[in-house]
Amino acid sequence: MPPPQEPPTFRMFVTAFTDFLAVAIHTILYERQIYPATAFISAKKYNFPVRQNRHPQVCEWINDAVNAVEAELFKGSVERVAVVIYSKQAKPLERVVFDVSRFPVVPSAQFDVPLERVEADGSQAVILPRVDLEEQLRATMSRLSNCGSTLKTLPPGCSFTVAIELKAASAAPLKHPQPWVPAERQSPSYDEASDAHTHTVPVRSVAAGEMVFETWLEELEDQSPAGLSDSF
């Protein structure tokens, strides 16, 4: 019989998402051909074949960006995380959006305290079902791995960035050194997908215990740069 699982803490919860985010960024860069295919190596995550960029500076930038996102997730201030792809002329062309607005908000003193919630019937809620979560993240990664067949071919010379959209009541992160660059909102939300300037493609919803988020793709037209972003 396998040993009982360690009760999940909020720190474990956030790390589970940021681990996924890092793999998703590498996958998007490969699928959208931001770098040559030869710049990637084969790997496996969630028992699913993925690609990882082999260039040390790219890996370092992605790790730094994910760490910066993680810091804001701990504050409970993030509504959405986006990977934004720009043309050579710095025009935003696409976004891969992760809506994390339903993540729990936990005081910093309780980051390492086991998360608990009681259902309406008095039973103990399952906070982070590991097997179910891995299955859903694997399914999401599978969809992202096919995003190239859903979107238009990108022009050569594209670049990318990672951006966050903050909740309405959240203050912008303005400490020094500053990894985030404040900017105007880049595109309409998923709920406003009928906007003529944005073509939105749903990817998948994840709902595993308290880990609830949505992923979708946006093709942008005539949009100006925006989002709180850390540019590469």
| Torsion angle, alpha carbons of 45, 138, 11, 175, to 10 | 80
For range 78-87, the mean pLDDT: 96
Count of the separate structural domains present in the chain:
1
| In a domain? residue 193 | yes
pLDDT digits (tens, 9 = 90+) for 115-134: 887 777 767 778 889 999 99
* Residue 134 host element (H or E): helix 130-144
Find, among 128, 109, 118, 117, the residue nearest to 6 by Cα. Answer: 128
pLDDT for residue 230 is more than 50: no
| In a domain? residue 101 | yes
pLDDT for residue 212 is more than 90: yes
> Reduced to 3 states, what is the DSSP secondary structure of residue 71?
helix
| In a domain? residue 132 | yes
| In a domain? residue 217 | yes
Predicted confidence at residue 194, as pLDDT, reads: 45
Report the percent of the chain where pLDDT is more than 70. Answer: 81
Q: Which domain holds residue 193?
A: 10-231
What CATH number did the domain enclosing 65 receive? Answer: 3.30.900.10
pLDDT digits (tens, 9 = 90+) for 143-200: 999 998 889 999 999 999 999 999 987 666 656 556 666 665 655 554 544 454 788 9
